[in-house]
Every structure is written in structure tokens, then in C-alpha cells.
Amino acid sequence: MASITIRNLDEELKSRLRVRAAEQGRSMEEEAREILRAALSRRGRRRANLASSIRQRFAKLGGVELPTIQRDLPREPPDLDA
């Protein structure tokens, strides 16, 4: 297995990771692996349908009914053979 080193991690973030790991009964290293696994496995689902993701994110705010706009038929294209 590969290993990585994360440099310049601020103390607050490290402390939050330590607390989160303790709450889950894991080491900090295992908790970091779980966070990476979860973040990278979600990536594929998020790309599936952007419109659905946006709709889900804002669904709790309620919908908006927009009026239907009456549109004219498009004009005939010019005859370029003349």
C-alpha cells in the first residue's frame, strides 16, 4: 500500500480530526482514510446529473412557479438561392 505525508496541517484541523476519529473509535490515520474514501466515492455520483444535484440542494427552500411566456413561431429562413 502507498503512504502519503500531509504537511502544514493547521492545529485546529488536526484537533478536529482527532476528535472525529475518537468519536468513531478509530485512529486518526484510519479516520483520514475513511474521509478520503467517502469523498472520492461520492465524486462519481455527483457528476451523474448536475440538474438533480442542484434541485436536491435547494429543494428545502421550496419551488418557484414561473409564468409561461407566449412565443411567436420562428421566422422563415432567407432564401439564399435567389
Residue 68 lies in a domain: no
Residue 71 lies in a domain: no
Is the model more confident about 47 or about 19?
19
Residue 25 lies in a domain: yes
Among 33-42, 56-65, 71-80, the range scoring the smallest mean pLDDT is: 56-65
Residue 17 lies in a domain: yes
Residue 3 lies in a domain: no
Mean pLDDT of 14-26: 96
Q: How many domains does the chain have?
A: 1
Residue 59 lies in a domain: no
Model-level pTM? 0.51
The domain containing residue 50 runs over which residues?
11-54
User: How far is 28 from 22, CA to CA, in rounded Å?
Assistant: 8
Tell me the Ramachandran region of residue 32: left when phi exceeds 0, alpha when psi lies from -120 to 50, beta otherwise. alpha
Residue 38 lies in a domain: yes
Residue 47 lies in a domain: yes
